[in-house]
């Protein structure tokens, strides 16, 4: 029985079918199919008067919209999910929907809103006595700490969450926290530790069949290799991660990897390639509203122009600096360093 058929004939069953299929479809990368089924299930739940079903499918649909970079739709859908959960007092559901909303804010570079969403989710999870939702909230707060440059706090949050996931036997969440620790250690320059965490995460994601997780872990290894001047290894892994993100339709990840490939091209003095990669990243970042990646792309274009046009380079770098400072990204320090180094 398909979700569409159930929605027409037996609407009370449509939500159950979508829930059963949605996780598999999302993990395997068939996000368009999953989103279509959840949309049908949302309408079926409305017709059946199934408020929990409506809240749950709105939450899942909003998460898929976040993954594909449709942030305006994701924000509206997830706000509806939070409201529906609140109507019948489901604190656990509210916590998950708020965490998903926080991920949208993270991708858009609104770290204050992201922190507020994750902190509210954490409070609700603790009130409900749900340790899994609590650990997820801590993981997501750790991501904000990482994105705003508080790396010590990020490591502490992700280590705490990882220990909780291990005790709760939640392998998908365990893999996610492990991968985040890789990015934490990379960001603070502990490259051997970062590589070890990413390899561990990649092994877990492969065993779980999670292609998106694999993409992030492979990309993380590529970032470590770029930082340690293993340029061939970085090229191989960053390119593989980019291909996975493209296959999945994960636009934010595509922008991240294009910027990283641009950074690799700059490191190897391939300025034309760098400008091309960063320009692609800039187009995607502006289309979806990913402010961190917009700043990275503008800065990368600026750096690629330094050998040929200092005035044009300065214009791009200053525009990048304004964005990075406005959103509170540590990228601002790196951009300021480039401007100062070159007397711009």
What radius of gyration, in Å, describes the C-alpha atoms of the chain?
A: 21
pLDDT at 18: 66
Q: What secondary structure, in 3-state letters, does the chain show? A: CCHHHHHHHCHHHHHHHHHHHHHHHHHCCCHHHHHHHHHHHHHHHHHHCCHHHHHHHHHHHHHHHHHCCCHHHHHHHHHHHHHHHHHCCCHHHHHHHHHHHHHHHHHHCCHHHHHHHHHHHHHHHHHHCCHHHHHHHHHHHHHHHHHCCCHHHHHHHHHHHHHHHHHHCCHHHHHHHHHHHHHHHHHCCCHHHHHHHHHHHHHHHHHHCCHHHHHHHHHHHHHHHHHCCCHHHHHHHHHHHHHHHHHHCCHHHHHHHHHHHHHHHHHCCCHHHHHHHHHHHHHHHHHHCCHHHHHHHHHHHHHHHCCCCHHHHHHHHHHHHHHHHHHCCCHHHHHHHHHHHCCC
- Tokens 């058929």: give the residue: 5
Q: With both helix axes pointing from N to C terminus, report the angle between 291-305 and 331-341 in degrees, rounded to the nearest 10.
A: 20
Q: What pTM was estimated for this model as a whole? A: 0.92
Task: Read off the tokens for 264.
Answer: 């690799």
Could you count the other beta carbons within 10 Å of the beta carbon of residue 133? 23
pLDDT at 295: 98
Please, what are the domains in the chain?
3-147+240-341 (1.25.40.10)
pLDDT at 37: 80
Burial class (CB in 10 A: 0-12, 13-18, 19+), 285: buried
CA 138 to chain centre: 15
User: Which positions ≥6 away from 163 have C-beta within 8 Å?
Assistant: none
- Per-residue pLDDT tens, the chain, 344 aa: give them: 444 444 444 455 666 776 667 667 776 677 888 888 888 888 888 888 888 889 999 999 999 999 999 999 999 999 999 999 999 999 999 999 999 999 999 999 999 999 999 999 999 999 999 999 999 999 999 999 999 999 999 999 999 999 999 999 999 999 999 999 999 999 999 999 999 999 999 999 999 989 999 999 999 999 999 999 999 999 999 999 999 999 999 999 999 999 999 999 999 999 999 999 999 999 999 999 999 999 999 999 999 999 999 999 999 999 999 999 999 999 999 999 999 999 98
Between CA 225 and CA 268 the distance in angstroms is: 13
Cβ contact 105:123 at 8 Å: no
User: Which positions ≥6 away from 239 have C-beta within 8 Å?
Assistant: 261
pLDDT at 29: 74
Residue (of 113, 84, 112) closest to 97 by Cα position = 84
Residue (of 278, 37, 291, 314) closest to 147 by Cα position = 291
């Amino acid at each position: 029985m398909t979700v569409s058929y159930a929605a027409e004939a037996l609407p009370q069953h449509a939500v159950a079918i979508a829930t059963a299929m949605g996780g598999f479809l999302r993990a395997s990368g068939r996000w368009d199919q999953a989103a279509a089924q959840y949309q049908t299930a949302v309408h079926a739940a409305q017709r059946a008067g199934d408020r929990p079903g409506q809240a749950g499918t709105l939450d899942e649909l909003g998460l898929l919209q976040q993954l594909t970079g449709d942030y305006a739709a994701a924000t509206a859908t997830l706000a509806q999910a939070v409201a529906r959960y609140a109507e019948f007092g489901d604190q656990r559901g509210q916590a998950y929907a708020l965490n998903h909303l926080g991920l949208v804010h993270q991708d858009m570079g609104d770290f204050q809103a992201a922190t507020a969403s994750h902190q509210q989710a954490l409070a609700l999870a603790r009130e409900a006595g749900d340790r899994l939702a609590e650990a997820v909230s801590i993981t997501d707060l750790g991501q904000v700490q990482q994105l705003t440059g508080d790396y010590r706090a990020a490591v502490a949050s992700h280590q705490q969450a990882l220990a909780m996931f291990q005790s709760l036997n939640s392998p998908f969440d365990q893999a996610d926290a492990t991968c985040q620790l890789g990015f934490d250690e990379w960001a603070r320059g502990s490259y051997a530790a970062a590589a070890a965490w990413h390899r561990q995460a990649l092994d877990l994601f492969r065993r779980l069949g999670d292609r998106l997780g694999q993409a992030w872990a492979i990309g993380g290894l590529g970032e470590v290799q770029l930082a340690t001047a293993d340029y061939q290894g970085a090229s191989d892994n960053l390119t593989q991660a980019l291909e996975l993100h493209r296959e999945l339709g994960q636009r934010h990840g595509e922008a991240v990897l294009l910027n990283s490939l641009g950074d690799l091209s700059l490191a190897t003095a391939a300025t034309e390639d760098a400008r091309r990669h960063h320009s692609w990243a800039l187009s995607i970042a502006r289309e979806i509203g990913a402010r961190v990646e917009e700043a990275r792309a503008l800065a990368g274009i600026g750096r690629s122009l330094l050998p040929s046009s200092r005035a044009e380079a300065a214009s791009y770098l200053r525009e990048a600096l304004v964005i990075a400072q406005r959103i509170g990204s540590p990228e601002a320090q790196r951009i300021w360093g480039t401007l100062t180094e070159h007397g711009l």
